[in-house]
Amino acid sequence: MAHVHGLRCRECGREYDVAPIFTCEWCFGPLEVAYDYDAIRAATSREKIAAGPLSIWRYADLLPSDRNPAVDLGAGFTPLVRADRLAAELGLGEVWIKNDTVNPTNSFKDRVTSVALSKALEFGFKVAACASTGNLANSVAAHAAHAGLRSFVFIPANLEQGKIVTTAVYGGNVVAIDGNYDAVNRLCAELAGSYPWAFVNVNVRTYYAEGSKTLAFETAEQLGWEAPDHVVVPIASGSLLTKIRKGFDELHKVGLLDDEPAIRVSGAQAEGCSPVARAWLDNVDTIKPVKPDTIAKSLAIGNPADGYFALDAVRQTGGGLAAVTDDEIVDAMKLLARTEGIFAETAGGVTIATLKRLAAEGIVRSDERVVAYVTGHGLKTLDAVEPTVGPTAVISPTLDAFHEAFPPADLERA
Amino acid sequence: MSVTIRIPTQLRELSGGAAEVDAEGATVADVLKDLEAKHAGFQERLFDDNGELRRFVNVFVADEDIRFLDGVNTDVADGATVSIIPAVAGG
């Protein structure tokens, strides 16, 4: 169950009662849920969690919704896969992939949607909505269908076909906007003020964001209640990175992790949309918004709401940031697939390309236990790899044709 | 120049509930000063103690973030819309 004091502004500290609000009325800073950690410490235990559902809801004591049953398609408790072949190729010692491609709608967004819509039902909302670069749209449309809610999802019209179809199939309203994601989000911010709808990443965002902590909770539980040394997380708004860090810290606060985590947190961005990485690389304090231009559309947020918090987290923990090119992204998608059998979307390519770059730079070290978060399935962004991936040979159904394509001598050597 | 300022939900208590306020001025700074003159209280919500726009306050002139333009010194055209919007979240 939820052990929540209220809400608090991360920028100025002002406090608010639990309500569907997301920005501080004073300074516009983002709000976050303030928990009663003593109550959580008393209520939770490793045993209780182990006996819980095989989903994010095993961590219900650390989540802000009381809704029972939760709006739940089974998000979370995804595989933490040891990636020895990838590690070897990158010159690293121990790499794990947190494989969120296997969620109900194939991205980590199912975690945050499950929390957001559960809370939305507690507030009495009847319509689910969101602004999305694709993965959230899929997730909200699916969860709304499962809960019997009407839905309105707003997306940029130039999204990958796969993401549009995999959202529309659930039968809700899909509104394709002639503009980039930032423009879509602006429209939704205005609509959220006019319609009594639960925009999961606008007016319900404060609760929604908490779902991301479960990536940290699971990582620790799956490592035998230990924290990794270094994590690599993709940055769109910056929320995921900050919540993963918060998740590990909370586990210690409530007694689930014995030692205070000293995890180095690194962030991954595409060069074509790298406002946070740019500030780190240039060693400045101000994040300049950009106009996104990258194949990594799920990370294409030019003015990230949690950018400053993500930058602070990286600096404070001694992590790093990289801005990787579109070519590096595609190569990294194929590298992960080839070495570990995991097919990630472009955001996953950004993460693995960043891991590769930071390893080469010595920022991710070979003596560290590293976890890289792969947030979405490659099926969502097929067009990124389609140009350079296909059959090894196309031949007639004859032995001769096969031997010509694959000379026996070559086959023996392989 | 006469512009229309779009007020976000969070600040409508200051504008008497109005979603839009007409204002005069040559630049964003000017029209925001006029907004303060018409409805006291906006100044301290939008600007910090150093007189800078608070970092989570986004201002758009005709759908363009002023950070891509001239900041608060951005000129505003007659009939333009100036929007005050909280920072963008992910999805």
> What's the rounded Cα separation, in Å, for the pair A252 and A40?
12
Q: Is residue A406 part of a domain?
A: no
**Backbone region of residue B29 per phi and psi (left: phi > 0; alpha: psi in -120 to 50; beta: other values):** alpha
**A233 interface with B at CB cutoff 8 Å:** no
Q: Which of A16, A25, A28 to mutate to test the interface with B (most CBs of B within 10 A)?
A: A28
- Which tokens go with A413? 């050597």
Q: Is residue A184 part of a domain?
A: no
The closest CB to that of A288, out of B6, B67, B88, belongs to B67
How many CB contacts within 8 angstroms connect chain A with chain B? 95
Decide if A29 and B6 are in contact by the 8 Å CB cutoff: no
Q: Is residue B24 part of a domain?
A: yes
The structural domain count of chain B equals: 1
Distance from CA of A181 to the nearest CA of B (A): 9
CATH code: domain of residue A234: 3.40.50.1100
Has residue A241 got a pLDDT over 90? yes
Q: Which residues contact A401 (CB under 8 A, 6 or more apart)?
A: A395
With contact defined as beta carbons under 8 Å apart, do A277 and A287 qualify? no
Q: Is residue A193 part of a domain?
A: no
Q: Is residue A295 part of a domain?
A: yes
The closest CB to that of B86, out of A28, A109, A136, belongs to A28
Q: Is residue A380 part of a domain?
A: yes
Distance spanning both ends of chain B, measured CA to CA: 37
SS3 B43: helix
> What's the rounded Cα separation, in Å, for the pair A33 and B20?
31
**A137 interface with B at CB cutoff 8 Å:** yes
- B-chain CB neighbours of A109 within 8 Å are 91
The closest CB to that of B85, out of A135, A136, A186, belongs to A186
A247-291 pLDDT, tens digit each: 999 999 999 999 999 999 999 999 999 999 999 999 999 999 999
- B-chain CB neighbours of A25 within 8 Å are 10
**A350 interface with B at CB cutoff 8 Å:** no
Distance from CA of B75 to the nearest CA of A (A): 20
pTM: 0.94
Q: Give the pLDDT confidence score for residue A119 in this predicted structure.
A: 97
Decide if B45 and A26 are in contact by the 8 Å CB cutoff: yes
Residue in chain B nearest A285 by alpha carbon: B55
Q: Give the pLDDT confidence score for residue B3 in this predicted structure.
A: 96
Backbone CA torsion sign across A311, A315, A317, A320: positive
Has residue B89 got a pLDDT over 80? no
Backbone dihedral angles phi then psi of residue B52, each to the nearest 5 degrees:
-95, 150
Decide if B86 and A189 are in contact by the 8 Å CB cutoff: yes
Residue in chain A nearest B46 by alpha carbon: A27
SS3 B11: helix
- A-chain CB neighbours of B4 within 8 Å are none
CATH code: domain of residue B75: 3.10.20.30
Mean pLDDT of chain A, nearest integer: 95
Q: How confident is the model at residue A412 (pLDDT cuts 50, 70, 90)?
A: confident
Has residue B88 got a pLDDT over 70? no
What are the respective helix, strand and coil percentages of chain B, to the nearest 5? 25, 30, 40
With contact defined as beta carbons under 8 Å apart, do A320 and A314 qualify? yes
A325-344 pLDDT, tens digit each: 999 999 999 999 999 999 99
Q: Is residue B37 part of a domain?
A: yes
| ipTM score of complex | 0.82
A198 - beta bridge partners? Answer: A128
The closest CB to that of A193, out of B9, B55, B91, belongs to B9
Pick from A66, A111, A65, A62: which is nearest to A251 by CA? A62
**A279 interface with B at CB cutoff 8 Å:** no
Domain that holds residue B11: 2-86
Q: Is residue A339 part of a domain?
A: yes
Has residue A413 got a pLDDT over 80? no
With contact defined as beta carbons under 8 Å apart, do A364 and A370 qualify? yes
* Residue A371: CA count within 13 A, CB half-sphere: 28
Domain that holds residue A257: 80-106+210-388
Has residue A227 got a pLDDT over 80? yes
Residue in chain B nearest A179 by alpha carbon: B63
Distance spanning both ends of chain A, measured CA to CA: 56
Q: Is residue A17 part of a domain?
A: no
Q: Give the pLDDT confidence score for residue A411 in this predicted structure.
A: 87
Decide if A202 and B89 are in contact by the 8 Å CB cutoff: yes
**A237 interface with B at CB cutoff 8 Å:** yes
Q: Is residue B91 part of a domain?
A: no
Among B residues 52-81, those touching chain A with beta carbons less than 8 Å apart: 54-58, 60, 63, 65, 67-68
* Residue A39: CA count within 13 A, CB half-sphere: 12
* Sheet-wide strand order for B64-65: B20-24, B2-6, B81-86, B57-61, B64-65
The structural domain count of chain A equals: 1
